[in-house]
């Protein structure tokens, strides 16, 4: 079997953690498996590098930031390889140039385009554990580019796809995927299995275990994902297409407290006004999450959308600078909202789920600020101060804490 | 003009030092020059990385050590580029993959073989300051290899050679090349100019300012070297072929306290015995410095040679393991010796220099343990405890502290 094993920053944060994870890889190797390891930078390394850059330049070019950041994974892969050497397991670390990881040239937020498999194939054929730097790739100009949030997961899934790995294990600091964030909902229960789509909605909506890009890629290539803890031997959650859980009504409640709502009101009620607004944001690499549009009068319409907290200032500045192009009357924003979503593949064949959710919130006296839905998800925005209470109530109402 | 400017570890040790050096490069750029900057890792970074590796593995593979070490220069080049950005000077950092630095595949001690000039040429043509990671290159297997001691100087001189730079400035923590190490000989005087050969002998013999590999390369390609301090604006020492100082009898006294003498006695007096001995050492990348051989009897000969302190244990172990192959009766070694050399291009046309040196040491009551000479150099080994006194006496005897 070929196994891809990804370890995040907390999993390789220090010498002891590195040895613990290397030991697990050594066991797989000794059991005859081929092993590709994908690593993030150690613990706080990325934060330290950012802080170091900040002492030099308050807003350094993204090109040089990527050049700086990529050292983080190179350090962890070299040290991990040395740890395997102490266990007499042949190993080799490869950075993005060596592993042939190619991507689009968007610094700080690149997308993988192609993987040259030759080098890794060669090292696997020599029966080495191959340790690849996550999060980084090389652009067509031969520059380092980083893959943005969840980048190391993406690296792992992409390698699992091109090498037809039997499984891709995402080792993190939680035991698996839960019906809700246990820090918010104490009654949350670990799921044994979950479908890609459910995972995708949970990831997108802030469950925080896996980034949506890696789940999308896993779905596209049918990669069996295993989300588990690198701190213990608990079995984790399997993410795959044909889940035993598929018929479950609701598989989880997700909360995202890192969302701000912006309303652009009094836009001209004519074709192209949404295009001009969201093209502007896309050109500045702002990720827009939910979008709701309503026509408020014969000649005007309002558009509301949510963005991450950290993008708020940039978005407001962009909108003010481009008032004429976008053509609107007013901007309003609310930073004291949070998103709550319920996700479940069974939802699409079961009417009344939405009504049950709204009733539950009504019983708690919680007002709903915005609603959007997909086939397997219902999202509401509520006051940030009420979202924890809301999540616990919904979790209980849908019996998510009970074995199903 | 195209200028290559190399800054060592102490020159980029912290934020303030980086800004100071970047400011100098910005000035050159604004004066219309093309500038290639070559950097070492910041201050103690290399030591920190080695220490980190040691916590994982007492003797990690050199391949993984090189993978780890190369992050040092990548960090300093990225930060240096950001510092130039704050001065509105367009700049770009390039690692060995990007700068096309190719080398033989000897981890930890590689030799540059070829430089792909395309990328750097392109960036220069866009009027950017190009900042290249020193000390590192890429092997034919696409692995990182480091260039060993003085590696960043070598990178700088090699770039100056392939790009036909008008000068190659080696910025270090001393003001230039002195007639002797000022810490040992207080009367030492800075030289305005020196020839490659003199510099080469001074470097080889432990003057410590420039590594011999970079001087050899500068001589081969006729690169004008400038050795100066990155901490002030003192003019430094120019190293080039046609030196005004060429006729000076002696240009400097060099002391090397980091030398051990090994004597292998009772080797068979037959062809090939030296070959077997030094092949063995070369195969293990031991740098041998001075060699003296004497025939002690009809059937045996003794060979003495000097090595660096840190290689002693390895060399003794090698000789003991290979006693049969090398075929000798006994090994002796002395770690309490130091080398003292006088160097000067004028020496070859001036008899009596050696006699003057020996007389001076005799007057000081200092015994000579070993003598070797070249056309422009005389080296003696004396007791380590006496070498400072010897150097000061010789410096005074040859009037090196006086303007010439």
A97-136 CB burial, b ≥16 within 10 A, e <16:
bbbbbbbebbbbbbebeebeeebbeebbeeebbbbbbbbb
> Taking CB atoms and an 8 Å limit, are A92 and B63 in contact across chains?
yes
Per-residue pLDDT, A16: 96
Helix (H) or strand (E) holding B17: helix B15-30
Residues on chain B touching A65 (C-beta within 8 angstroms): 78
| Best residue of B12, B20, B57, B82 to probe chain A, by most A CBs closer than 10 Å | B82
Interval A247-271 mean pLDDT: 83
Closest-CA distance of chain B to residue A64, Å = 5
Q: What residues in B contact A95, CB-CB < 8 Å?
A: 67
pLDDT of A349: 65
A67–B97 CB contact, under 8 Å: no
Determine, for residues A79 and B53 on separate chains, whether the beta-carbon distance falls below 8 Å. Answer: yes
Q: Which of B13, B19, B53, B67 to mutate against chain A (most A CBs within 10 Å)?
A: B67
* pLDDT for residue A246 is more than 50: no
Interface with chain A: mutation pick from B19, B46, B62, B68, highest number of A CBs within 10 Å: B68
Within A188-299, strands assigned E span 193-194, 225-229, 237-239, 252-256, 259-268, 291-295
Does residue B144 contact residue B66 with C-beta atoms inside 8 Å?
A: yes
The chain A residue lying nearest B92, using CA atoms, is A64
Q: Tell me, what's the pLDDT at B246?
A: 47
**pLDDT at B272 > cutoff 80:** no
Residue of B nearest to A123 (CA): B141
| Distance separating alpha carbons of residues A295 and A42, to the nearest angstrom | 50
The minimum CA-CA distance between B73 and chain A, rounded to whole Å, is 10
Q: What is the mean pLDDT of residues B237-241?
A: 89
Q: What is the pLDDT of residue A331?
A: 92
Q: Is the pLDDT of residue A74 over 60?
A: yes
Higher pLDDT, B246 or A61: A61
Average of per-residue pLDDT values in chain A = 89
Give me the residue from A65, A75, A143 closest to B68, CB to CB: A75
The predicted pLDDT at position B247 comes to 56
Quickly list H helices, B126-165: 151-162
ipTM value: 0.78
d(CA B383, CA B257): 10
- pLDDT bracket for residue A270 (50, 70, 90): confident
Instruction: Spell out which residues of chain A touch residue B143, defining contact as CB-CB under 8 Å.
Output: 98
Q: In chain B, which residue's Cα lies nearest the Cα of A75?
A: B68
Contact B74 A97 (CB under 8 A): no
CB contact (8 A) between residue B98 and residue A143 = yes
For residue A49, give how far its alpha carbon lies from the nearest alpha carbon of chain B (Å).
9
Summarize pLDDT for B249-267 with one digit per residue, the tens.
Answer: 788 898 988 888 898 988 8
Question: Is it the case that residue A95 has pLDDT exceeding 90?
Answer: yes
Contacts of B79 in chain A (CB under 8 A): 52-53, 56, 68
| Partner residue opposite A55 with nearest CB, options B15, B60, B92 | B15
Average pLDDT, stretch B137-157?
94
Q: Which domains does chain A have, with CATH numbers?
A: 2-173 (3.40.1160.10), 243-404 (3.30.2130.10)
Which of A23-37, B336-350, B357-371 comes out lowest in average pLDDT? B336-350
Q: Would you list the DSSP string of A171-227? A: EESSSS-BSS-TTT-TT--B-SEE-HHHHHHHHHTT--SS-HHHHHHHHHHT--EEE
Return the biggest CA–CA distance within chain A: 75
Residue of A nearest to B48 (CA): A75
CB-closest option in B55, B67, B82 to A74? B67
* pLDDT tier, B243 (very low <50, low <70, confident <90, very high otherwise): low
Using a CB-CB cut-off of 8 Å, the residues of chain B touching A64 are: 78, 81-82, 85, 92-93
What is the pLDDT confidence band of residue B226, given thresholds at 50, 70 and 90? very high
Binned at pLDDT 50, 70 and 90, residue B248 comes out as low
B144 to chain A: nearest residue by CA? A98
Residue B404 has a pLDDT of 58
Nearest CA in chain A to B90: A61
The answer, yes or no, to whether residue B124 has pLDDT greater than 80, is yes
For residues A340-359, average pLDDT:
80
Q: What's residue A404's pLDDT?
A: 58
Angstroms from A403 CA to nearest CA on chain B: 43
pLDDT at B245 over 60: no
Nearest CA in chain B to A81: B64
The span from the CA of B38 to the CA of B40, in Å, is 7
Contacts of B75 in chain A (CB under 8 A): 49, 52, 68, 71
pLDDT value at A260 more than 50: yes
Query: With contacts defined as CB-CB under 8 Å, which chain A residues touch B39?
Result: none
Choose among B53, B82, B92: nearest Cβ to A82: B53
- Shortest Cα–Cα distance, B60 to chain A (Å): 6
pLDDT band at B375 (very low <50, low <70, confident <90, very high): confident
CA distances to A249, B303, B311, B313, B332 from B318, in Å: 72, 16, 11, 9, 14
Could you give the CA distance from residue A225 to residue B307 in angstroms, rounded to a whole number?
56
CB pairs A-B closer than 8 Å: 99
Cα–Cα distance between B243 and B248 in angstroms, integer? 10
Q: What is the pLDDT of residues B353-367, one digit of tens each?
A: 888 888 899 899 998
How many angstroms away from the CA of B9 is the closest CA of chain A? 17
Cα A119–A42–A11 angle (5° rounding)? 90
Q: Measured between beta carbons, which residues in chain A are less than 8 angstroms from residue B83? A: 56-57
Q: What band does B200 get if pLDDT is binned at 50, 70 and 90? A: confident
- List, for residues B102-123, the tens digit of each pLDDT value: 999 889 989 999 999 999 999 9
Which structure tokens are listed for B147? 């260039």
Higher local confidence (pLDDT), B204 or A217? A217
- Closest chain A CA to residue B81: A64
In this complex, do B71 and A68 lie within 8 Å of one another by their Cβ atoms?
A: no
> What percent of chain B stands above pLDDT 70?
94
Give pLDDT, residue B207. 60
The rounded mean pLDDT for chain B is: 89
Q: Which residues of chain B have a CB within 8 Å of the CB of A74?
A: 67-68, 70-71, 74
Strand, coil or helix: what is A209?
Answer: coil
Q: Residue A243 pLDDT > 60, yes or no?
A: no
**Residue among A57, A119, A142 whose CB faces B98 most closely:** A142
Please give the Cα distance from A120 to A136 (Å, whole number): 16
Stretch (H or E) spanning A378: strand A377-383
Helix (H, G, I), strand (E, B) or coil at A278: helix
Q: Which residue has the higher pLDDT, B195 or B68?
A: B68
Residue range A304-328: average pLDDT? 90
List residues of chain B with CB under 8 Å from any CB of chain A.
Answer: 15, 18-19, 49, 52-53, 55-57, 60-61, 63-65, 67-68, 70-71, 74-75, 77-79, 81-83, 85-86, 92-93, 95, 97-98, 119, 142-143
pLDDT of residue A202: 78
pLDDT tier at A8 (50, 70, 90 boundaries)?
very high
Predicted confidence at residue A247, as pLDDT, reads: 56
Token pair, residue B306, equals 């000097």
Phi, psi of A186 (to 5 degrees): -60, -25
Q: Which residues of A touch B92 (CB under 8 A)?
A: 63-64
Contact B93 A64 (CB under 8 A): yes
Confidence of residue B148 (pLDDT cuts 50, 70, 90): confident
What is the distance in angstroms between the Cα of B284 and the nearest Cα belonging to chain A?
21
Phi, psi torsion values for B228, nearest 5 degrees: -150, 170
CA closest to A48 among chain B residues:
B75
| Lowest-confidence region among A14-28, A365-379, B69-83 | A365-379
The answer to whether B37 and B24 are in contact (CB under 8 A) is: no
Best of B18, B23, B56, B87 to disrupt the A interface (most A CBs within 10 Å) is B56
A346 or A378: whose pLDDT is higher? Answer: A378
Q: Is the pLDDT of residue A296 over 70?
A: no
pLDDT at A191 over 80: yes
* Residue ranges of chain A whose CB lies within 8 Å of a chain B CB: 15, 18-19, 49, 52-53, 55-57, 60-61, 63-65, 67-68, 70-71, 74-75, 77-79, 81-83, 85-86, 92-93, 95, 97-98, 119, 142-143
CB contacts, 8 Å: B85 with chain A: 57, 60-61, 64
In chain A, what residues touch B78 (CB-CB under 8 Å)? 53, 64-65, 67-68
Average pLDDT of span A343-360: 78
Secondary structure letter of residue A114 according to DSSP: E
Classify A254 as helix, strand or coil: strand
Mean pLDDT, rounded, for B177-188: 88
Q: What is the pLDDT, as a whole number, of residue B138?
A: 97
């Amino acid at each position: 079997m070929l196994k891809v094993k990804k370890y995040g920053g907390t999993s390789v944060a220090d010498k002891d953690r590195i040895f613990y994870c290397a030991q697990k890889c050594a066991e797989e190797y000794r059991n005859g498996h081929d092993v590709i390891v994908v690593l993030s930078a150690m613990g706080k390394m990325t934060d330290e590098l950012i802080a170091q850059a900040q002492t030099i330049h308050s807003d350094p070019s993204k090109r040089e930031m990527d050049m700086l950041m990529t050292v983080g994974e190179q350090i962890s892969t070299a040290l991990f390889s040395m740890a395997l050497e102490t266990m007499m397991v042949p190993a080799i670390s490869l950075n993005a140039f060596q592993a042939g990881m190619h991507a689009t040239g968007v610094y700080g937020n690149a997308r993988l385009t192609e993987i040259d498999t030759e080098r890794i194939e060669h090292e696997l054929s020599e029966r080495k554990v191959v340790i690849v730097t996550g999060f980084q790739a090389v652009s067509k100009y031969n520059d380092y580019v980083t893959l943005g949030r969840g980048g190391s997961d993406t690296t792992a899934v992409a390698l699992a796809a091109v090498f037809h790995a039997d499984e891709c294990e995402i080792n993190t600091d939680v035991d698996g995927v839960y019906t809700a964030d246990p820090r918010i909902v104490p009654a949350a229960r670990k799921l044994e299995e979950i479908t890609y789509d459910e995972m995708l909605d949970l990831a997108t909506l802030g469950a925080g275990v896996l980034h949506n890009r890696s789940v999308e890629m896993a779905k596209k290539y049918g990669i069996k994902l295993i989300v588990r803890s690198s701190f213990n031997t608990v079995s984790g959650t399997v993410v795959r297409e044909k889940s035993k859980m598929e018929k479950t009504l609701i598989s989880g409640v997700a909360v995202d407290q890192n969302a701000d709502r912006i309303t652009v009101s009094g836009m001209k009620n004519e074709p192209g006004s949404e295009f001009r607004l969201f093209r502007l944001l896309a050109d500045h690499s702002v990720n827009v999450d939910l979008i709701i549009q309503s026509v408020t009068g014969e000649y005007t319409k309002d558009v509301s959308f949510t963005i991450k907290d950290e993008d708020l200032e940039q978005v407001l500045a962009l909108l003010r600078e481009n008032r004429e192009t976008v053509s609107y009357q007013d901007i309003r924003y609310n930073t004291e909202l949070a998103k709550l979503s319920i996700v479940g593949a069974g939802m699409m064949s079961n009417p009344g789920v939405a009504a049950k959710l709204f009733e539950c919130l009504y019983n708690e006296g919680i007002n709903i600020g915005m609603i959007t839905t997909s086939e397997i998800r219902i999202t509401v925005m509520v006051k940030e101060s009420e979202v924890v209470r809301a999540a616990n109530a919904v979790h209980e109402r849908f019996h998510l804490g009970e074995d199903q």
